[in-house]
Chain A
């Protein structure tokens, strides 16, 4: 219980830190950048949206910093992130609402796939220690960890999109000829568009799963209970899965929940390369268009996603690992 409370406290602390970062950043930058942004849109904004932006970015105000801070927190907690300037007059909330499903779909499915495949490969690699898989994997993935995500995407675009003409590589569906709806063509469309970005994410993230699983499993395989299981004459696959893998999977499980948040941010560049209409691509558009309200909200969204994922991972660890329950 104490462990859970401590993790919960840490979650709240990091959340507060992120909100405060976000509050201080535009105010600390030399010559508040939001001022220039507002100048550009001067006269086009309704008084309400102008007011919201003034609270969020601390421009045109004579209030003291602590008072601004309270106003800002109130604004954020009530979910009012102001008006998007690129998509004016749509509110930031509604703009993000349209993009988030694309990211959740792409990143969610890919992460689950990477986790299952990677953990499986890691188990087999450790079990056949010194085998072909085991001696090949580590160096390959050491190098893969150094390759920029976005560049893998570009290479895939070149090979499968441009040279072979197998798969589409721009947008989330054929924007010109298709329209979103609950029909088979649209699903096929979305699926074929998601393949290349998903593959790039898979290639770049799977290595972590394999290596972590393999390294933990190697430790577990040396334990006495595994030797005991072997001595009892249990079939090899049972020893591998029920005795060794089951006890080695904990670091990977916690890593899984954590990575859900991290992959969201890792997908930013992949979405950019493929013009994929998710939150990552939108974040970069917002930065380039100096749409600070949208940028701020997206940053907070991604951060909160990561923090929630980590909290879930911590709680799952408490549930699965008796040691954390006993430890005081």
Chain B
């Protein structure tokens, strides 16, 4: 970023970054697809009653029904309408994704930026905590905690996943904040005699908006996968209506073997689609930030030798934390 860009960012930092994000979403196909998917899921989570008229918990129908116009996806072995379960289940998953995504990102921003900006002993201790949490295998840890807690429902899932899974993005944010440290506009703020907390909140954090949004997307994706996996093995509250618990009941009733494949296929496909929405948006952000990763047109590649900027090392651990 040139000096001029820094000065502009300085003036209207966050609204400009948001504008940039908006433009990027329209011009990048992956981002457009991700946004459309995400908006659909948000709408379904907000107004499930509009497209699903039956109650998701009422077991009033004939069990084991196949697909029909009355029951779009058939009914479960308990006589519940599967379409209603799927639609109403969106709310639980979206709640977890957004709360965990926001909370973990907030922790990551706080820890990452504080470590980078304060430096010294602060940086040392915060980085060690981050790194330790980063290498301890999260999913077994989640299983053990949830096991001790006897599957305490959605709130326990949210707290446990938030507490354990902020470290990856905290590290990324710290790395970026470190590169900002010696910028002129921060120097200027220091010379003006601003307090550290003011500099962090008003000067540093707004310039990192796009990475913070990317962190939110990563964390939300992990939250969806972790929560669904825990619910699938029965460590959530099995009575909540959600995709993970649908899979739990499907597995417990041997749905695949008894010709009720839809019971397992539909919620899994929904998890994948929601996850893909977050992942597509995230990948699009990567492309926007790393021009070298953008898809190239074959013609232009042949005509002239490509000149690429050296790019940052792609994160090796991407997906590895995705133990679920």
Contact = CB atoms under 8 A, between A and B. Distances in A.
Interface in B232-262: 232-235, 247, 251, 256-257, 261
A150 B256 CA distance: 14
Contacts of B150: 33
Given A146-B272, A148-B268, A148-B272, A269 B232 contact: yes
A73 interface: no
Nearest to A287: B147
A146 B137 CA distance: 19
Interface in B300-324: 301, 306-308, 310-311, 313-314, 316-324
A163 B303 CA distance: 50
B271 interface: yes
A208 B221 contact: no
A154 B264 contact: yes
Interface string B140-154: 110111111110000
B265 A155 contact: yes
A13 B133 CA distance: 11
Given A21-B136, A148-B271, A284-B143, A219 B316 contact: no
Residue with the highest number of chain A CB atoms closer than 10 Å, among B138, B147, B225, B274: B147
A216 B323 contact: no
Given A130-B301, A218-B293, A266 B323 contact: yes
Interface in A235-271: 251-252, 254-255, 258-259, 261-262, 264-266, 268-269
Contacts of A264: 137
B275 interface: yes
B323 A145 contact: no
B136 A255 contact: no
Interface in B29-47: 30
Contact of B319 (A33, A145, A292): A145
Interface stretch (B80-88, B198-206, B278-286): B278-286
A251 B307 CA distance: 23
Interface in A137-154: 138-139, 142-143, 145-151, 154
Contact of B140 (A10, A254, A265): A265
Interface in A291-321: 292, 295-296, 298-299, 302-303, 306-307, 310
A157 interface: yes
13 contacts: A130-B301, A147-B268, A147-B272, A147-B275, A148-B268, A158-B261, A218-B311, A268-B139, A272-B233, A284-B143, A288-B234, A299-B141, A307-B136
Interface of A: 10, 13-14, 17-18, 21-22, 25-26, 29, 33, 129-131, 134-135, 138-139, 142-143, 145-151, 154-155, 157-158, 162, 207-208, 211-212, 215-216, 218-219, 222, 251-252, 254-255, 258-259, 261-262, 264-266, 268-269, 272-273, 283-284, 286-288, 290, 292, 295-296, 298-299, 302-303, 306-307, 310
